[in-house]
Structure 1
């Protein structure tokens, strides 16, 4: 990175954090203001905050790499989200506002009992606590590998900055900061897309770039093939994605806490609907950036291994010559691939359908050859470094940024990744601290504590979860694909939690014992299915939720009679 890159990175990051702290100075003097931001945010801030909470650094690191290797079909993951936003706006938001809750799980005690509330809160703390560690670790490990930054200081610095403004300014500082972060993130990705198009060879237009991507199977936006083991198709997105979105935005405190900061129900609803309208186009843009990187590397030779640290480590072993031999063949394969891409475009210009079909087949053959060499290289790495993680899709975009982006833009795009990491982590820490304070500490330990005591406890518990996240990040190992890892983790738990809320909303005759037992059995079943089957992870949201609902109905007739819970919220 050049001096200009460092100035852009440090200046933009400092401005975002400083702006959030300045805008919220002196405004978090009570527990409610600290945890819920004072009920005065407008819908644009809420909408951008909701989007920024979901768009972690993993999104900007993993999604372009996902598109590079697998095409556009990951966008189907979000097909159920707009529907979920409408349902949450119509059902969830009015109930939360009417009961004036600080956390979503307070409602579960109002509807059922304390043990059900604690179960819902505990499931949230488990999955979100682990996910927050991955959220810090993901950008830290990749930036460390690409730029040679020391890993531990990178993790500690990122975690420390987030803890600082989250604890200092509370929920409102998180929302105000996320608004600026979201603008930087979206602007950075638009700039990245424009620069990649500019970097393409002069004879390759934007339309021709899309044509090449389509010929190589990367423009696979929608698939209507029904397959339970296929993670991304229309059916898994519109059903599993719907249930995941309902769970995440409707019952996950990191999101509920974002839209409960609104000055009214209308502002919260508009913020959610804003997210529902813009989320799919945003994800399409991020995926398409990965497609443009893929096309760029059809005309310019990419690295054989995008994680250059692994390559350097292999070169220091007895397998160095074996890797060098693969690299020699790789260079020739790249030259062949570029020649075939040029021939394909020439055939398209000629309008000869037979020539186009023949050229497409040859281009696809050279692409398969290159993919085969990548597999060979990864096999060499596995032999040279047993146990090393060879999947490098999370390194593709950041490697391109380092090698091909102009000075200044490298700093901007690194800032995009750090801003995304901090925005998501801040919401997670705020939600973890709020849930621990409200649903456990105040409910079970210090029910009569003063507001000042609870405010201090909230800040200390937020710091605690920040340190837990940093500690987990420091000892975590790189997972298969970070964006999938976080979504899998959520899918394992979200279905059960959503089932609790749906039973609470719509099955008024079901009482606490039945739903509690149903939730425990459902969660155990989902974990067992994950461990023993190859079902696409989005379906776990449907399975977990459906099991809670069905088992609750089946178990209720056999449960002892209970007194109906009261309408007020127990705190």
Structure 2
């Protein structure tokens, strides 16, 4: 067991492994800067020439957001609360379907670089800029968390220099993203997601061996009240239930994979929509695998420390430090392995930050630079987008300081997704699925969604929801030596000093009931707010005539989900949008669109939709 005062620190071998990971990541960037088109065009720099294989794209979609937050936060979540988080696997499946058949076709038809180009085509330039600024806020805050949280956790437990780690991530990531472009981002993501999976497997294998096998892990977790998967309580204030995780999680992750520029830009690197759907299928499977490995790592950690909780004992100050603590406990006698698993954490951070930098460069290039200089030379525009990537690299290092004031890393990250991603999802949904929506409705809806989301999210910081946690104890610690996990599980709960942690607030005002809403519902509530306000304002100010809306800007849900219905039933359900009559089965046509010479062309007759 690791002693807080004399805890094992990084050895020379660990530092060498960690530095090697950074060198490999930077080397991939250098390679792509010197090969192919050498990143001389924005199409190559931002979209990898739109000819990427679905495998690296799928891996990148996994790595971009299931990253350092997952590596540190998800095992800690399962250690403290149990494996309800594993149900997010169901939400990933629903997210994949919604993205592939409802949002992706629209972006492919328009052949955009920035997802927010859609908002100008559907509404106005003002709405486009508002969407871009909202996305920028989300990504800059999120990247600050991604850089700072793992650095702080690893500094506290392994002795790795805090700001040295922050600057290492920021500088290396900015370097290879700026010189290597999207190709470097995609291929470093493949390398980094591989390191992440190896890290989880190492923890699961060694940790379960120490405890006595996976069956022992399961039994100890069950006795500790951690094996509770299906809580069907409809109360939206309960932190995790089947409904909040599966339904609320679907909205949270659809906001990420459906309309977030970082992910949209990735699947647009594929040459056709059918290839992009393969990449999305790979990413969905990968997301489920990674979240299961992360959750299992948390159960292994609980089985090891069930009788001697490191937080109650005072060995770690925050739950985010549990995984680094476990790593040093398991592998301190194996020089190099702590460095490898630490590299997995930072690989996860690198993948997320590089995705964010590239996407921010794309949106500011397309949504700001080109609006100011519409006829800018290609060479100059490419240089500006590279400079933008470098600039945002510096910004995200600065945001790491702000992240030091935030709380639980996993819940904070998902709350940001909900608070900012939810309104953005609502804005795109308003345009894609509701042809009556107009510009005033879009602006009012987005602002209302943001106000609602931040009101609840910030209020929850002042009046945290009451959260009941399964018990943790230090009754079986053998202060001095020994493996604390090897207790007699049959009498574990005979002690009278078992500590049940429940966050009990002081006196609360009536409005605090609103702040008790589970963070998992933030995105869904914001989405509903945008649609409700947006449609009311649209109808009050004169709704758009659906016949005047370009059908390329909408998604026909009836054709997507109920393609076998008779035409006489489907036609009125298209809400008056004039879909080309020769394309009755709209979704079948979507598969035929390919990117050729920068234009969307129907492979059958080269006729635009």
Q: TM-score range with shorter-chain normalisation?
A: 0.7 to 0.9
Tell me whether 1:436 sits opposite 2:447 in the alignment: no
CA drift of 1:112 comes to: 1.1
Say whether the 8 Å CA contact 1:39–1:261 is kept in structure 2: yes
Partner of residue 548 from structure 1, selected from 530, 548, 551? 530
Measured in 1, the distance between the counterparts of 2:81 and 2:143 equals: 26
Measured in 2, the distance between the counterparts of 1:169 and 1:566 equals: 37
In the superposition, the TM-score normalised over structure 2's length comes to 0.76
User: Structure 1 regions of 5+ residues with no counterpart?
Assistant: 309-389
Partner of residue 139 from structure 1, selected from 146, 150, 156? 150
Q: Which residue of 2 aligns with 1:476?
A: 403
Partner of residue 17 from structure 1, selected from 21, 26, 33? 26
Tell me whether 1:4 sits opposite 2:13 in the alignment: yes
Measured in 2, the distance between the counterparts of 1:245 and 1:418 equals: 22
Tell me whether 1:223 sits opposite 2:244 in the alignment: no
Q: Which residue of 1 aligns with 2:599?
A: none
Partner of residue 267 from structure 1, selected from 252, 270, 275? 275
Deviations 1:475-518 (A, max 9, x none): 53253210111111111111211111112112112221222222
Cα RMSD of the aligned pairs, angstroms, is 2.1
Say whether the 8 Å CA contact 1:44–1:271 is kept in structure 2: yes
**Structure 2 counterpart SS, 1:37:** helix
CA drift of 1:277 comes to: 2.5
**CA shift in 2, pair 1:301/1:559, >3 Å:** closer
Tell me whether 1:402 sits opposite 2:411 in the alignment: no
CA drift of 1:303 comes to: 6.5
Partner of residue 427 from structure 1, selected from 344, 355, 358? 355
User: Structure 2 regions of 5+ residues with no counterpart?
Assistant: 1-9, 460-511, 554-609
Measured in 2, the distance between the counterparts of 1:475 and 1:548 equals: 28
Measured in 1, the distance between the counterparts of 2:16 and 2:140 equals: 33
Tell which has more relative contact order, 1 or 2 (C-alpha 8 A, sep 6+). Answer: 1
Measured in 1, the distance between the counterparts of 2:165 and 2:535 equals: 50
Measured in 2, the distance between the counterparts of 1:479 and 1:190 equals: 29
In the superposition, the TM-score normalised over structure 1's length comes to 0.80
Q: Which residue of 2 aligns with 1:186?
A: 197
Q: Which residue of 1 aligns with 2:174?
A: 163
**Structure 1 counterpart SS, 2:82:** helix
Measured in 2, the distance between the counterparts of 1:501 and 1:254 equals: 15
CA drift of 1:560 comes to: 5.0
Deviating above 6 A after TM superposition, structure 1's stretches of 4 or more consecutive aligned residues are: 565-569
Tell me whether 1:523 sits opposite 2:450 in the alignment: yes
Measured in 1, the distance between the counterparts of 2:164 and 2:75 equals: 26
Measured in 1, the distance between the counterparts of 2:289 and 2:233 equals: 23
Measured in 2, the distance between the counterparts of 1:557 and 1:286 equals: 47
Partner of residue 81 from structure 2, selected from 52, 57, 70? 70
Q: Which residue of 2 aligns with 1:372?
A: none
Partner of residue 491 from structure 1, selected from 418, 426, 440? 418
Measured in 1, the distance between the counterparts of 2:377 and 2:551 equals: 25
Within 5 Å, which residues of 2 pair with 1:141-290? 141-200=152-211, 204-290=212-298
Say whether the 8 Å CA contact 1:145–1:307 is kept in structure 2: no
CA drift of 1:151 comes to: 2.1
Measured in 2, the distance between the counterparts of 1:55 and 1:118 equals: 27
Higher mean C-alpha deviation, range 295-304 or range 40-49: 295-304
**Structure 1 counterpart SS, 2:254:** helix
Say whether the 8 Å CA contact 1:57–1:139 is kept in structure 2: yes
Q: Which residue of 1 aligns with 2:104?
A: 93
Higher helix share: 1
Q: Which residue of 1 aligns with 2:141?
A: 130
Q: Which residue of 1 aligns with 2:380?
A: 453
Say whether the 8 Å CA contact 1:50–1:258 is kept in structure 2: yes
Higher mean C-alpha deviation, range 470-479 or range 482-491: 470-479
**CA shift in 2, pair 1:550/1:207, >3 Å:** same
**Structure 1 counterpart SS, 2:530:** helix
CA drift of 1:473 comes to: 0.8
Measured in 2, the distance between the counterparts of 1:30 and 1:451 equals: 7
Measured in 2, the distance between the counterparts of 1:76 and 1:301 equals: 25
Deviations 1:346-393 (A, max 9, x none): xxxxxxxxxxxxxxxxxxxxxxxxxxxxxxxxxxxxxxxxxxxx5x11
Q: Which residue of 2 aligns with 1:343?
A: none
User: How many correspondences in the alignment?
Assistant: 483
**Structure 1 counterpart SS, 2:49:** coil
Say whether the 8 Å CA contact 2:436–2:543 is kept in structure 1: no
Measured in 2, the distance between the counterparts of 1:503 and 1:180 equals: 38
Measured in 2, the distance between the counterparts of 1:128 and 1:147 equals: 28
**CA shift in 2, pair 1:9/1:481, >3 Å:** same
Q: Which residue of 1 aligns with 2:44?
A: 33
**CA shift in 2, pair 1:401/1:236, >3 Å:** same
Q: Which residue of 1 aligns with 2:559?
A: none
**CA shift in 2, pair 1:413/1:546, >3 Å:** same
CA drift of 1:410 comes to: 0.8
Deviations 1:505-552 (A, max 9, x none): 121122212222222122222222332521112212111111222222
Higher mean C-alpha deviation, range 55-64 or range 99-108: 55-64
Deviations 1:72-115 (A, max 9, x none): 11223443221111121112222211211001110111111111
**Structure 2 counterpart SS, 1:251:** coil
Measured in 2, the distance between the counterparts of 1:132 and 1:179 equals: 19
Measured in 2, the distance between the counterparts of 1:45 and 1:195 equals: 29
Higher mean C-alpha deviation, range 25-34 or range 420-429: 25-34
Say whether the 8 Å CA contact 2:256–2:421 is kept in structure 1: yes
Deviations 1:258-293 (A, max 9, x none): 111112211111111222223223212111111111
